[in-house]
Chains A and B, each alone.
Chain A
Amino acid sequence: MIDDIVHFFEPYIYLIVGGVKAIIIAVALTAVVPGLVWLERRLMGRFQVRLGPNRVGPFGLGQPISDSIKLLFKESIIQSSADKFLFHLAPAIVVFTAILSFAVIPITQPFEIFGQTIGPWIANIDSGILFIFAISGMGIYGKVIAGLSSNSKYSLMGGLRSSAQMISYELTLGIAALSIIVMTGSLNLVDMVKSQEAVPFILVQPLAFLLFFIAGVAETNRAPFDLPEAEQELVAGFHTEYTGMKFAMFFMGEYINMVTMSSLVTLLFLGGWNTYILPQNALTGFLAFAFKVLFLLCFFIWLRSTFPRIRYDRLMTFGWKFLLPIAIFNLLLTSALKVL
């Protein structure tokens, strides 16, 4: 009986496994967002010598849940002058691209279950890192469209700034990643992690790591590069006119992008699922990966509470005249050493 069922489903097993993995990743990513909001608020409280949320549940753990319920039941307001279709489309694009780009990220080493080797990724494509860049490039449209369709000057300025900033820093991000690609000779993220079995690339390429991380903070629009949503100048930037759940979706997108960026830094520079001295198997590999990502996420929050927001023209000068030349120099040096 069971054999019959197994036999019937055998040709479709890769579809089923892929679908299950996709659902797990999508659910886990959306579930991680409230936790991350809680972590950020608690940590920010500590950094600023105050308590942070502590009323709802133990350690304020119920706060993000009650916040989500509030946002879900809030009235959704659309001003009459907005383009309705695009106004609804924008937050969907932001969340969709944020979740999609996680599809190629391997969270631990491949393992066996019921005699089937399962790769802990949704898709292991040859040019995985380019896929992430391509999809995060699509994410810009969510912000641009939000700015355009709101029909408000603050939103328009926020959208304009956001797209300009993301285009500028994407270059540095790509070129910093290129030096790692030159070293591994592959665009595949799994190969990249495998080539770090002996030593993580942060020790070999410290400059590339620094450039990639700075550009990554700018790319996710986090402080001190959160110009698109500078509260003092733009009210809230591209999502000024959004309310309720649609507003929350922009935040979901931002936090998921943070997780993806931290995962990418982990894979490229911190050795991904490699545990180094500790015993290496699928479980410890996942724990090592999760620990590194969590550390980077805390680093993001630490940066936010340490640095003031920089001025817009300085942000652009910094990106184009400082980071980009260094990144190109680093790439040239790496390529020269590789050839020699």
Chain B
Amino acid sequence: MELLIFYPIGTLCVFLALGVVLNKSPIGSAMCLIGMMLGLAAVFAIQHAHFIAILQVIIYAGAIMVLFMFVIMLLNLKGDDTVWKTREGNTLLTGLGAVLVVGILYKMTEITGGGEFDSPTPIQETFGTTVKVGTTLFTDFVLPFEVASILLLAAMIGAVVLAKSKMDD
């Protein structure tokens, strides 16, 4: 039953991810990315991680992608604009991207080929529930959690200061 839902959603996710890269218009790319995030949320939901699934929708598909759409709207980018040509011509970026893809694929084959996934351990019932995520975040990972929040706060203040100094000029 789980596989029956997983295969179509997984396939859809892969196609949407391809759509993000191959789409000519920025709006189309953003839409594909939103769709892919929602697909990932569905995958989490199949694993009984309802809380993580909902967080995925709120944070990634909701908050972050709305900001992406915001930028697209403010710049009013269109599909046929000449601005949108970074894909062709930039050899350095293409090369770096290729190295990254090869590296990820190599690592993936290494992990899946190691026989570790031949007998998967069943997921615990509590995996991804609100209580489990909360306790893990505030006991085992409390230091990285706080460091990340301080980093985000610093980045936010930095952005405000930069924008403000530009406005005052």
Chain A residues in the interface with B (C-beta under 8 A): 83, 86, 125-127, 130-131, 133-135, 137-138, 140-141, 144-145, 147-149, 156, 159-160, 163-164, 167, 187
Which residues in B have their C-beta under 8 angstroms from that of A135?
A: 57
User: Given that A141-B34, A167-B66 are contacting pairs, would A159 and B73 also be in contact in the complex, using a CB cutoff of 8 Å?
Assistant: yes
> In the complex, A110 Cα to B51 Cα: how many Å?
24
**A117 CA to B50 CA in the complex, in Å?**
24
A160 close to B73 (CB less than 8 A) = yes
The main secondary structure of chain A at its interface with chain B is: helix
Cβ-defined contact, A130 with B54, below 8 A: yes
Q: Does B58 contact A (CB under 8 A)?
A: yes
Closest to B65 in A: A141
Given known contacts A126-B51, A126-B130, A144 and B58 CB-to-CB distance under 8 angstroms: no
A-B contact pairs, 18 of them (CB 8 A): A83-B27, A125-B50, A126-B50, A127-B54, A127-B130, A131-B54, A133-B58, A134-B54, A134-B62, A135-B57, A137-B57, A138-B38, A138-B57, A138-B61, A144-B66, A156-B73, A160-B74, A163-B66
Given contacts A86-B27, A127-B54, A137-B58, whether A163 and B63 have CB atoms under 8 Å apart is no
B129 CB within 8 Å of chain A: yes
- Whether B63 lies near A137 (C-beta < 8 A) is yes
- Minimum CB–CB distance from B52 to chain A (whole Å) comes to 10
Instruction: Report the interface size for chain B: residues with CB under 8 A from the other chain.
Output: 24
Q: What residues of chain A lie closer than 8 Å to B62, measured between beta carbons?
A: 134, 137-138, 140
Interface check B70, CB cutoff 8 A: yes
Measured between beta carbons, the chain A residues less than 8 angstroms from B50 are 125-127
Within 8 A of A (CB), among B36-51: 38, 50-51
Q: Are B130 and A148 in contact (CB under 8 A)?
A: no
B17 in contact (CB, < 8 A): no
- The reply to whether A134 and B73 form a contact with Cβ atoms under 8 Å apart is no
Of B38, B51, B73, the residue contacting A148 (CB under 8 A) is B73
The secondary-structure label for the interface of chain B is helix
What's the Cα separation between A113 and B66 when bound, in Å? 44
* A125-B50 Cα distance, complex, nearest whole Å: 8
Q: What is the CA–CA distance of A144 and B26 in the complex, to the nearest angstrom? A: 14
Closest residue on chain A to residue B76 by CB atoms: A156
Expressed in whole angstroms, the Cα–Cα distance for A137 and B66 within the complex equals: 9
In the complex, the number of residue pairs spanning A and B with C-beta atoms less than 8 Å apart equals 66
Given A125-B50, A141-B66, 5 additional A-B pairs, CB 8 A? A86-B31, A127-B54, A133-B58, A144-B66, A145-B27
The residues in B between 59 and 105 inclusive whose CB is less than 8 angstroms from any CB of A are 61-63, 65-66, 69-70, 72-74, 76
Cα(A138)–Cα(B65), bound, Å: 10
Q: How far is the CB of A177 from chain B (nearest CB, A)?
A: 13
Which residue of chain A is the closest to B61 with respect to CB atoms?
A138
Q: Is the CB of B70 within 8 A of A163?
A: yes
A187 lies within 8 A of B130 (CB): yes
B-side contacts of A134, CB under 8 Å:
54, 57-58, 61-62
Residues of B within 8 A of A159 (CB): 73
Contact B70 A160 (CB under 8 A): yes
Q: Chain A residues near B129 (CB, 8 Å)?
A: 126
- Rounded to whole Å, the gap between the CB of A2 and the closest CB of chain B is 28
Nearest CB on B from A122, distance (A):
15
CB distance from B151 to the nearest CB of A (A): 21
CB distance from B71 to the nearest CB of A (A): 11
Which residues in A have their C-beta under 8 angstroms from that of B27? 83, 86, 145, 148-149
B69 A141 Cβ-Cβ under 8 A:
yes
CA distance A167 to B76 in the complex (A): 20
CA A125 to CA B49, docked complex, whole Å:
11
Name the CB-closest residue of B to A86.
B27
- How many angstroms between the C-alpha atoms of A86 and B28 in the bound complex? 9
- Distance to closest chain B CB from A14 (angstroms): 13
Bound-state Cα–Cα, A262 to B57, Å: 23
> In whole angstroms, what is the CA distance A160 to B51 when docked?
30
Identify the closest chain A residue to B131 (Cβ).
A126
